[in-house]
A and B are shown apart, each in its own frame.
Chain A
C-alpha cells in the first residue's frame, strides 16, 4: 500500500487491484487478465515515480520506519555472525554494532550503525547515533580485522554522531578524527555501504572505504536538510530546497565521484522487499571485496590515499 504523499497517484490503482484480488467465487478467473494488466500498469507508474523522486522525497524513503536496519541485513545475507562488544576504554555502544560475519564464502568483519526497529530498541540503540565509544569500538574491530586479515564491511545508517554532553566530554571529535586517520592506514580492504541515512561525520567515521556503495534511495550528506535550511535559509521549512541544493542522493554522489556504485532497491523502496534488497547488497559487496583483494598492501593503501586525495573541487 502506498504510504508517501508522492505515491498518491498510484493509491487508486492499488485499491482497485486489492478489490479484484478479494473477489471470490466462480467468475474469479475472469478477472485474472485484468488483474495482471493492472499490476503491470501499477508497476510502471510506480517505477516512474521512484525514478523521479526529488531529493526530499528520497529522504522520506531513507528514513522510513520500516526500512531494513543492520540486523535485517545480518539475518538475510550474513551467516555465523559473532557479535563483539565494547571499546575497551569506556563501554559498549549499542548504536554501533560489529563482529565476525560470513558473506557467501567470504569471512569478513562487519561493522555498522544500528537504529533498531521499535521504540524500545530505538532507545537502547540511541536511534543509531553513536557516541565516542561506538567509533572506538569500530576502530578496535577494524584493527582486529587487520590482524586476522579479514576484509571489513561497514554499513552506514545514522542521522549523525550523537550530539550530547557525554559524547563531547568523551571526545566525539577525537573519536571520529582518529577513525578517519587510522582508516587511511588499515591494511585490509574496506567496503562501505550507505544503507539509509549517511549523516555527516557520524557516517564518515566508518566510511573511509576502498569502495563506497549506496542504496538507490539512501542519502548521504554533510548536514541534514533541516539543519542546513535552519542555518542558510533561517527556516527549517526550506528543507526540501536544502535537500535539493546539497545534492544528497545516490545519483548525485555517483556523479560527484564520492561513491563507486549504486545498489538498486526495489521500486517502492527497500522496505517493500528487504530480502531482495539484501541480496543485491550481497552481490555488490562480494564483487567489491574481490576487486580489492589479492593486491599488495602498499598498492591497496596508495589507491585508498589517491581516492580520497582526489575528492573535492577547487580552482587553481
Chain B
C-alpha cells in the first residue's frame, strides 16, 4: 500500500487526535487550540464568543479557590407523572443524563466566597436536560434562597436553561412560583439578589427568578427571551433579525443592567457586592 493512503482506522485516529487539539468556534468558525479555548473559560480567543460552561467550571471561575461548599447535592429529579413520550420514558432519560454528566439535577447550589465576601450561589448546567426547571431544580434554588434568608447572605443565580421541564407537567410550572416566592422573601431582610443570565436563558426561567434580580447581568451574545424564535416567527409571520433576543437586545430594551465579558464577571460581582452596606 502506498505511503500516502491511510486506512480507515488511521484516518479516524488522526481525526480524533486533531479533535483533541483543535476546536472550531461555533460563532466565527475559527480553528483555535482547544487549550487556548479552555484556558480562556470557553471564550473564543478570536471573536470573544462565549461558549457554555458546566456548573462546576462556572463555580471554579467565580468563587475564591477552595471556598465552595455544596448544598443539597443529593437532590435529584422525581418522575411525578410517570411521563413517557415519543422518545421513551422520563426515568430512562434522567438515568442517561445523570450518567453522562455526573450531575444529579440541572442546578448546583452552595456557599462560597467572591473576593472574600460570603455568598450563596446557584449555577444551572445546560447539559442536564437543557437546564430545565424541574422539581429538584426548584427545590434546590428555593433551599439556597432560604439559606441566604436564614444566614443573611447575598444570593447569586447563574441561569442557563431552556425553561420549564415538560416531563413534570404542571408541577414544573409551579417551580416558577416556588422559586420566586423564595426570592421575594429576600426583600424582607434587604438581602441582595443578583441574577446572571448566561446562554441560553429562556421560557419559564427567564419568566421567573432570572429576570427579577436587583441587578440583572448577562454574558455577551447570550440568548435571553421568553418565547421561542420559531413560535414568534409563526405568530407574526415574519423573520426576526439575528440580534433578536440577544443579551445586547435585552439590555437595549431596559431589562438588563449590563452585559459583562466572562473574564470580568467575578470582579463585577465583587464590585456590586461592595455597595451592599448591611
Contacts and interface: CB of A to CB of B under 8 A. Distances in A.
Interface of A: 161-165, 167-174, 176-178, 180-185, 200-201, 204-205, 208, 220-223, 228, 231-235, 238, 241-242, 245-248, 252-253, 256, 258, 304-305, 308-309, 311-316
A222 B204 contact: yes
Contacts of A220: 170
A222 B254 contact: no
B81 A247 contact: yes
Contacts of B171: 256, 258, 311-313
A168 B85 contact: no
Contacts of A246: 81, 166, 169-170
Nearest to A219: B170
Nearest to B78: A313
Contacts of A163: 226-228, 231-232, 235
A184 B178 CA distance: 9
B257 to A, nearest CB: 12
A35 to B, nearest CB: 43
B47 interface: no
B207 A172 contact: yes
Most chain B Cβ neighbours within 10 Å, of A165, A183, A242, A304: A165
A181 B178 CA distance: 9
B139 A173 contact: no
Interface in B171-229: 171-178, 180-185, 187, 203-204, 206-212, 224-228
A182 B184 contact: yes
Given A163-B232, A168-B225, A173-B211, A184 B253 contact: no
Given A177-B206, A178-B212, A201-B204, A304 B255 contact: no
A177 B211 contact: yes
Interface stretch (B15-23, B32-40, B69-77, B115-123): B69-77
B80 A201 contact: no
B164 to A, nearest CB: 5
21 contacts: A164-B232, A165-B236, A165-B244, A167-B227, A168-B227, A171-B253, A177-B207, A177-B208, A177-B209, A182-B184, A184-B185, A200-B164, A201-B204, A245-B81, A247-B169, A256-B169, A256-B170, A313-B168, A314-B134, A314-B135, A316-B74
A164 B235 contact: yes
A200 B206 CA distance: 13
Interface residues of B, number: 64
B171 to A, nearest CB: 5
Most chain B Cβ neighbours within 10 Å, of A162, A180, A234, A245: A180
Contacts of A182: 184
Nearest to A166: B236
Contacts of B187: 185
B86 interface: yes
Interface of B: 72, 74-78, 80-81, 83-87, 105, 134-136, 138-139, 142, 164, 166, 168-178, 180-185, 187, 203-204, 206-212, 224-228, 231-232, 235-236, 240, 244-245, 253-255
Contacts of B183: 181
Nearest to B240: A165
Contacts of A308: 174, 177-178, 181
Given A177-B208, A231-B166, A315 B75 contact: yes
Q: Is the interface of A mostly helix, strand, loop or mixed?
A: helix
A115 to B, nearest CB: 16
B80 A256 contact: yes
B159 to A, nearest CB: 11
Contacts of A223: 164, 166
Contact of B80 (A161, A177, A313): A313
A178 B207 CA distance: 8
Most chain A Cβ neighbours within 10 Å, of B138, B181, B183, B224: B181
Given A305-B181, A305-B185, A315-B77, A172 B227 contact: yes
A204 B177 contact: yes
Contacts of A256: 80, 169-171
Most chain B Cβ neighbours within 10 Å, of A165, A241, A312: A312
A223 B206 CA distance: 16
Contacts of B232: 163-165, 168
B180 A184 contact: yes
Nearest to A229: B86
A316 B105 CA distance: 11
A164 B181 contact: no
Q: Which 9 A-B residue pairs are closest in the complex by CB-CB distance?
A: A163-B227, A312-B135, A233-B86, A232-B85, A311-B174, A173-B206, A180-B180, A314-B136, A184-B184
